[in-house]
Chains A and B, each alone.
Chain A
């Protein structure tokens, strides 16, 4: 199994200076944006994006061309790049921000041209200070060259980019929470409807919210054509995707591959196998929100639809391997604690439920569990996501609450014995 290098090409070929505009331009950088602005039309660009069949890389996997097509008419429209990458296991946007910020900026220029947008924001999580500095430096270089600001590339078009730092809140990855945060409010997801920021978004104006990796793919798609991109990968999961591999593997890291191979092949080849030749007990296929797969399910294909058909999600493309020695109750507790900490507190089932789940798992993990805790865990989960089905039903405004349910249903369905073995049998309450 080999990588297919599109988005990570420039940084690989020019490792020490890939963040600088000179290096980017030497490798034909900004030529696609320039051609687009001077020779193309917004409709043509949208057609190419639709033809590429690219789906959003943030987690939800919504078709990008369709999203752009929703954008309502208005004098003021905005593009917001979601660089609030915080899903545990995920670090793919970090490399794109840190090592190839100009590719993102070129993607923004083309996107704004297609959508007739004059102002874009890059919302970067506050903990990504170094990546944010690189992006800010790149934005300043692009302004100096006249690729941003007034009359870009000598055209009639104006475009400004503001780099905005978040302040430590996972929930701001949810697009309406991100918009609230960018408006200077608490990062609480908005009540729906309105369902789409493309209709009512930032300042209640039509707004495109796209992930870093999605927009970083735009220059390649426009340069080579949507059809070419569509040929890569498999139907429903076209193009390449950067997977973040972590956990008990020999070679953790970011790997750009065409979707369609199995998780097992990915881990054995690019990942270098599991450390110390151990077996996989369980793994997470798409970030902490995704239900787990067992070690005997490594033949599942890495596509959005295959993973969904097996009742999980490819999500943000974060693959976390857990070997046979992993204490899965502690692992689940870590994930549940994460969601308990990051719950915004608006909806009772999530705010109270995640905290209770954390407390119950904590007492099981420390050997103080009760027999009744098994059903209690499932009961609390059922209050957050009725029926415990996949995709989850919700009693909450956003999917954060149901995300905390994922590791628990995984434990209960596939590793119930392991949980029970931690509960002292003498305590019958």
Chain B
């Protein structure tokens, strides 16, 4: 078993939330993603034992969903939305600039394992198009220039916690709605930042 005791304890806590063990499979795959940056074969073995299903059943589920990565990812997953509202608001130029800066094609990771780039489908930020997510933290109204500035900032400062509000303030523009509430919580890995997964922290 390659998961340490802390992670296993977390996993067992999650399993207990559900009437049937298998329902925890999704969250456990998020845990695996947060640990290694992708769904490793080791994690598949551990999860199959925890949930009581075969490894191939775990693999079949893990390959269905786009947020479980099958290859190692960078520290930051840059997801630029390309769905309709973003498309008609110049998202293709944002995509071009991010690709130019990172030198990455869709779903590629750079050699330093800093960035993974992906052009993604609708992230529910259509009123703030074009929108970008970094490790599933949303920034809205991102101009092509600010997309580059965001990448540069990530590269230079390498924040441990990725906070939507901080990025929005520095690199965002028009929003889908007034965010109103001050929030310094964010993501600490390439899994979504969420309390139950212990993948979120408040940035001081």
Contacts and interface: CB of A to CB of B under 8 A. Distances in A.
Interface of A: 11, 15-19, 76, 85-91, 93-95, 98-99, 119, 125-130, 132-134, 136-137, 140, 162-170, 181-187, 203, 244-248, 252-254, 284, 288, 318, 320, 322, 326, 330-331, 334-335, 337-338, 341-342, 344
- 10 tightest A-B CB contacts, nearest first: A184-B25, A167-B65, A184-B22, A129-B192, A252-B127, A168-B66, A168-B67, A246-B126, A15-B180, A334-B87
B187 A89 contact: no
B82 to A, nearest CB: 7
A186 B64 contact: yes
Contact of B88 (A90, A99, A184, A331): A331
A88 B128 contact: no
Contacts of B179: 98
Contacts of A95: 176-177
B133 interface: yes
A89 B192 contact: no
A308 to B, nearest CB: 21
B83 A334 contact: yes
A17 B183 CA distance: 11
A86 B23 CA distance: 21
Contact of A165 (B22, B138, B185, B194): B194
Interface in B80-117: 82-85, 87-89
Contacts of B79: 127
Nearest to A162: B17
Nearest to B23: A184
Which of A88, A140, A284 is most buried by chain B, counting CB atoms within 10 A of its CB? Answer: A88
A344 B176 CA distance: 29
Contacts of A165: 26-27, 30, 192, 194, 196-197
A318 B187 contact: no
Max chain A Cβ within 10 angstroms of own Cβ: one of B124, B128, B178: B124
Nearest to B22: A184
Nearest to B20: A203
Contacts of A247: 85, 88-89
Interface residues of B, number: 61
Nearest to B28: A184
A94 B23 contact: no
Contacts of B38: none
A283 to B, nearest CB: 11
Contacts of B200: 129, 133
B23 A88 contact: no
A170 B20 contact: no
Interface string B116-144: 00000111111111000100111000000
A127 B192 contact: yes
B68 interface: yes
B124 to A, nearest CB: 5
B121 A342 contact: yes
B70 to A, nearest CB: 13
A91 B180 contact: no
Contact of A203 (B19, B67, B121): B19
A89 B126 contact: yes
Interface of B: 17-20, 22-27, 29-30, 51, 53, 60-61, 64-68, 79, 82-85, 87-89, 121-129, 133, 136-138, 164, 174, 176-183, 185, 187, 192-197, 200
Nearest to A186: B64
Contact of A127 (B136, B178, B197): B136
A239 to B, nearest CB: 20
B55 to A, nearest CB: 14
Contact of A133 (B27, B65, B123, B185): B185
7 contacts: A15-B180, A88-B126, A119-B19, A126-B136, A182-B26, A288-B122, A320-B84
A140 B30 CA distance: 21
A89 B122 CA distance: 8
Contacts of A246: 85, 126-127, 129, 176
Contacts of B83: 88, 288, 334-335, 338
B85 A88 contact: yes
B85 A126 contact: no
Contacts of B127: 91, 244-246, 252-254
A338 B167 CA distance: 27
Contacts of A182: 23, 26
B84 A338 contact: yes
Nearest to A325: B88
Contacts of A88: 83-85, 121-122, 126
Contacts of A166: 26, 65
Contacts of B194: 129, 132-133, 136, 165
Contact of B64 (A130, A136, A187, A248): A187
Nearest to B21: A184
Given A169-B66, A252-B128, A186 B60 contact: yes
Contact of B65 (A163, A169, A248, A254): A169
Given A91-B177, A129-B192, A244 B126 contact: yes
